[in-house]
Amino acid sequence: MKTKNIISLLLVLAMLMSVCACGSDTTPAAPNGSAETKPEYRITAKLTAADAENKELAAHLTENCVISFTNTSSDTWDKICLRDYAAANLELENSISDDKPYTPGSIREVKDSRGNALSFSVQEDKSVVYVQLPSPLKPGERTSVSIDYSTEIPCCFERLCWSPNGDDFAGENTVCLSQAYPVLAEYIDGKWNEAPYFTDGECFFSPCGSYEMTLSAPEDYMVISTGSEAQSADGTWTLKADNVRDFAVIAGNGFEKLSGKAGNITVNSWYYSGSERDKKQGEVSLKAAIDAVNAFCDAWGEYPYDTLDVVQTPYNAGGMEYPGLVRIAEMYADLIEAEGDESLRLDVAHEVAHEWFYAVVGNDQYREAWLDESFAVYGEFVYQLYTGESETDVQARVDSLDCSIKQKYIDLSYDQYFDEYTGNSYINAVYKIGPVFLWKLRQTMGQEKFDAFMRAWYEEHMFKEVTTAEFRAAIEKASDSADVKALLDEYLSPAK
């Protein structure tokens, strides 16, 4: 009787445990540092081109996005924060038009892994969306959400945009899908990252993860993406990328390609077809990208991907970086004819440098933008030396960048560089003074020692995120020079 009771009790407990397991929306995570703790994005998408003949202004993207993620913090999560940057992009376009032609807001429905609808709330900043989880997600647990997503793609020159390749709106065109999917926000120091979206600098922050997109696009479109692309017999594209912190897609019906090699790395330069000036931009971009990859592999360490795509696109700034892919503004085709190719070459080098600092070694681009932007401008100096310019030539350029700002330090967050008296000091701090600081460290530590530091910094933080405090500690470990400490104190804020 006693034995039977024990057996019965064990059976009941086993059944209860089975029921609990079957009803749970979460699973335990693998140990810290495992690939199983990284977010996974599985996206099924359809891209519809704008009907330019009927003067339709927007292209359209519809998606189902499944995000699998682990609570890597020490807090229990009752809700998560998603970033809907497409909505912020559309709000920005509406702000500069009296007609307000676009409808911001892309997330239509969120479900848990069992198909149950979850409540979500869009904040005043429409890029910030909170989703209530079905049950608390404890540290180390993993779950997923499915998001029904649809966004307009504005006709403009922003990160998310489409534009004709010339003056004919019904002719060849290019669509740029940047941040065109919901993103799980970073959770740091007990808070979700709500840094606002803006376009005159960087504002993103995300860990490395894996992405797979099944994309239906117009049948005459070529598709270029982060990672690999494969097209099936029915025309559907499968795009895959592993261990990347961002994922971008460029699609269009007017591309030609030039290719070359940097060691074992295939470098592709995509340019608009049918124009000799666009082809010239493609040729200059290819040579500059190959030289830049070789220069940075020598200086910092190996490029981690198989390919690098450099793509001529509509954009209102010089270029924009993504893992394994960089956008270069179409305007350079005109600038080459008018001013020569130096600006284009340096811009390509800058964006390629981001493959090392941003794509591989990540950082909070809103709060500490200098950790990738200043490094990318410093990369321009490395490229100049690699391609035969003298130390004197580079020093002259460094001197031309040196300036001062009221805020003094280079490691502040974007919003701290604004006030009613000085306006925006962000550009000067991040793109000018920051690289000057790195060049001075090189001079003070000595080229050999500083180069060794840069290689170690890159190799030790691959696919991780770094902070200014970590940079300061690493420099102090590499050099105990009083002059080096003085530079750190001059350029980096005491709070960091």
Predicted confidence (pLDDT) per residue in 144-170, tens digit:
999 999 999 999 999 999 999 977 766
Task: Please tell me the distance from the alpha carbon of residue 374 to that of residue 296, in angstroms, as a whole number.
Answer: 15
Prediction pTM value? 0.92
The answer to whether residues 358 and 376 touch, using CB atoms and an 8 Å cutoff, is yes
Task: Please tell me the distance from the alpha carbon of residue 303 to that of residue 326, in angstroms, as a whole number.
Answer: 14
Question: Quick one: pLDDT at residue 10?
Answer: 38
* Amino acid (1-letter code) at residue 157: F
The answer to whether residue 1 scores a pLDDT higher than 90 is: no
With tokens 């198989």, the residue in question is 306
**What are residue 228's DSSP bridge partners?**
240
Task: Please tell me the distance from the alpha carbon of residue 423 to that of residue 464, in angstroms, as a whole number.
Answer: 33
- Is residue 357 helix, strand or coil? strand
CA 231 centroid distance within chain: 24
- Is residue 132 helix, strand or coil? strand
Rg value, the chain, Cα: 24
* Amino acid (1-letter code) at residue 150: S
Closest CA to 272 of 329, 313, 239: 313
With tokens 């890597």, the residue in question is 72
Biggest alpha carbon–alpha carbon distance for the chain: 97
pLDDT band at 6; cut points 50, 70, 90: very low
The answer to whether residues 162 and 43 touch, using CB atoms and an 8 Å cutoff, is no
For 25-46, what is the mean pLDDT? 77
E-strand ranges in 288-380 read 307-313, 319-322, 325-329, 361-363
The answer to whether residue 445 scores a pLDDT higher than 80 is: yes
Question: Quick one: pLDDT at residue 427?
Answer: 92
For 348-361, what is the mean pLDDT? 98
| Kind plus residue range of the DSSP H or E element containing 418 | strand 418-419
The answer to whether residues 432 and 402 touch, using CB atoms and an 8 Å cutoff, is yes
Question: Quick one: pLDDT at residue 422?
Answer: 59
For 94-119, what is the mean pLDDT? 90
Closest CA to 375 of 306, 311, 468, 449: 468
Question: Quick one: pLDDT at residue 51?
Answer: 84
